[in-house]
Amino acid sequence: MAKSVLILGSGLGALSTALRLSDKGYAVKIVEKQSRAGGRLHILEKDGYTFDVGPSFFSMSYEFKELFESVGEPIPFELNELNPLYTVNIAGQDRVFQMHKDLTKLAKEFEGIEDDFEAKARGYLAGAKSIFHDTEYRVVKKNFDSILHYLLGMAKVPIKHLPKMFRSFWAELERHFESEEVKIIFSLVAFFLGATPFNTPSVYNLLNYTELQYDGYWNVKGGMYNIVKGMLPLLEARGVQFQYNCEIVAAEYSGKKMTGLRDAAGNLHTADLYVINADAASFRGQFLGRKKFSEAKLDAMDWTLAPFTIYLGVKGKIPGIHHHNYFLGNNFRDYADTIFRSSVAPEKPYYYVNVASKSNPNCAPEGCENLFILCPVPDMRVKPDWSDAETLAQGIIEDLGERVGYDIASNIESKTIYTPVDWASMFNLYRGSGLGLAHGMNQIGAFRPANKDEELNNVYYVGASTVPGTGLPIVVIGSRLVTERIQDEHSIV
Ligand SMILES: Cc1cc2nc3c(=O)[nH]c(=O)nc-3n(C[C@H](O)[C@H](O)[C@H](O)COP(=O)(O)OP(=O)(O)OC[C@H]3O[C@@H](n4cnc5c(N)ncnc54)[C@H](O)[C@@H]3O)c2cc1C
Tell me the HSE value of 486 on the side-chain side, using a 13 A CA sphere: 33
Domain assignment present for residue 473? The answer is yes
d(CA 337, CA 340): 7
Closest CA to 49 of 375, 356, 394, 423: 356
Q: What is the 3 CA–ligand 1 centroid distance (Å)?
A: 27
Instruction: Read off the amino acid at residue 395.
Output: G
DSSP at 450: P
Q: What is the 436 CA–ligand 1 centroid distance (Å)?
A: 9
Domain identity same for 211 and 232: no
Domain identity same for 265 and 283: yes
Domain assignment present for residue 469? The answer is yes
Domain identity same for 151 and 237: no
Domain assignment present for residue 363? The answer is no
Domain identity same for 143 and 63: no
Do 170 and 314 touch, CB atoms closer than 8 A? Answer: no
DSSP string, 413-425: EEEEEE-HHHHHH
Domain identity same for 296 and 444: yes
Phi, psi of 372 (to 5 degrees): -115, 120
Domain assignment present for residue 383? The answer is no
Instruction: Read off the amino acid at residue 47.
Output: D
Do 323 and 353 touch, CB atoms closer than 8 A? Answer: no
Number of structural domains in the chain: 2
Q: What is the pLDDT of residues 361-385, one digit of tens each?
A: 899 999 999 999 999 999 999 999 9
Residue 123: which domain range? Answer: 102-215
State the helix-helix crossing angle for 226-237 and 12-23, rounded to 10 degrees.
Answer: 30
Domain identity same for 226 and 168: no
Residues in contact with ligand 1 by the CB-under-6-Å rule are: 8-14, 31-34, 39-41, 54-58, 247-248, 277-278, 307, 309, 374, 427-428, 434-435, 463-464, 470-472, 475
Q: What is the 34 CA–ligand 1 centroid distance (Å)?
A: 12
DSSP at 235: H
Domain identity same for 295 and 211: no
d(CA 480, CA 340): 32
> Parallel, antiparallel, or unpaired for β 86-90 and 4-8?
unpaired
Q: What is the 4 CA–ligand 1 centroid distance (Å)?
A: 24
- If one counts every other C-beta atom within 10 angstroms of the C-beta of residue 262, the result is 15
> Parallel, antiparallel, or unpaired for β 273-276 and 4-8?
parallel
Q: What is the pLDDT of residues 288-297, one digit of tens each?
A: 999 999 999 9
| pLDDT at residue 315, rounded to an integer | 98
Of all residues in the chain, the percent with pLDDT exceeding 70 is 100
**Looking at ligand 1, which atom is closest to the CA of residue 462?**
25
Closest CA to 190 of 350, 19, 15, 20: 350
pTM comes to 0.97
Q: Which of 178, 193, 215 is the last residue of a domain?
A: 215
Quote the mean pLDDT of the chain.
94
Closest CA to 131 of 60, 202, 192: 202
d(CA 141, CA 110): 35
Domain identity same for 188 and 254: no
CATH number of the domain encompassing residue 260: 3.50.50.60
Domain assignment present for residue 116? The answer is yes
**Which residues 6+ apart lie within 8 Å of 175 measured at CB?**
none
> Parallel, antiparallel, or unpaired for β 351-355 and 368-377?
antiparallel
- β-partners of residue 58 are 218
Do 314 and 408 touch, CB atoms closer than 8 A? Answer: yes
Q: Is 45 exposed, middle or buried (0-12, 13-18, 19+ CB in 10 A)?
A: exposed
Domain assignment present for residue 241? The answer is yes
Q: Which of 148, 182, 215 is the last residue of a domain?
A: 215
Q: Which of 176, 197, 215 is the last residue of a domain?
A: 215
Please say whether the dihedral angle defined by the alpha carbons of residues 169, 59, 319 and 40, taken in this order, is positive or negative.
negative
Kindly list the distances between the CA atom of residue 436 and the CA atoms of 266, 297, 414, 444, 448, in Å, as whole numbers in the listed order: 28, 15, 29, 12, 11
d(CA 358, CA 46): 18
Domain assignment present for residue 338? The answer is no
Instruction: Read off the amino acid at residue 146.
Output: S
**Most ligand 1 atoms within 8 A of CB, residue of 40, 247, 287, 460 to mutate:** 40
d(CA 225, CA 228): 5
| pLDDT at residue 1, rounded to an integer | 67
Instruction: Read off the amino acid at residue 221.
Output: K
DSSP string, 190-230: HHHHTS-TTTSBGGGGHHHHIIIIIS--EEETT-TTHHHHH
Closest CA to 188 of 110, 307, 47, 87: 87
Domain identity same for 206 and 240: no
Domain identity same for 106 and 210: yes
Please say whether the dihedral angle defined by the alpha carbons of residues 481, 482, 484 and 489, taken in this order, is positive or negative.
positive
**Looking at ligand 1, which atom is closest to the CA of residue 309?**
1
Distance in angstroms between the alpha carbons of the first and the last residue of the chain: 6
Q: What is the 39 CA–ligand 1 centroid distance (Å)?
A: 5
Domain identity same for 174 and 73: no
Domain identity same for 117 and 177: yes
Closest CA to 124 of 200, 27, 202: 202
Do 15 and 242 touch, CB atoms closer than 8 A? Answer: no
Domain assignment present for residue 244? The answer is yes
Size of the chain, expressed as the number of residues it contains:
493
**Most ligand 1 atoms within 8 A of CB, residue of 53, 219, 258, 277 to mutate:** 277
Tell me the HSE value of 370 on the side-chain side, using a 13 A CA sphere: 25
Do 304 and 190 touch, CB atoms closer than 8 A? Answer: no
d(CA 95, CA 359): 23
| pLDDT at residue 151, rounded to an integer | 85
pLDDT tens sequence for the chain (493 residues): 689 999 999 999 999 999 999 999 999 999 999 999 999 999 999 999 999 999 999 999 999 999 999 999 999 999 999 989 999 999 999 899 999 999 999 999 999 999 999 999 999 999 999 988 888 878 888 898 888 888 888 888 888 877 777 789 999 999 999 999 999 999 998 887 878 899 888 888 999 999 999 999 999 999 999 999 999 999 999 999 999 999 999 999 999 999 999 999 999 999 999 999 999 999 999 999 999 999 999 999 999 999 999 999 999 999 889 999 999 999 999 999 898 888 888 888 999 999 999 888 899 999 999 999 999 999 999 999 999 999 999 999 999 999 999 999 999 999 999 999 999 999 999 999 999 999 988 999 999 999 999 999 999 999 999 999 999 999 999 999 999 999 999 998 7
Going by alpha carbons, the residue nearest to atom 4 of ligand 1 is 55
Cis peptide before 449 (omega within 30 of 0): no
| pLDDT at residue 30, rounded to an integer | 98
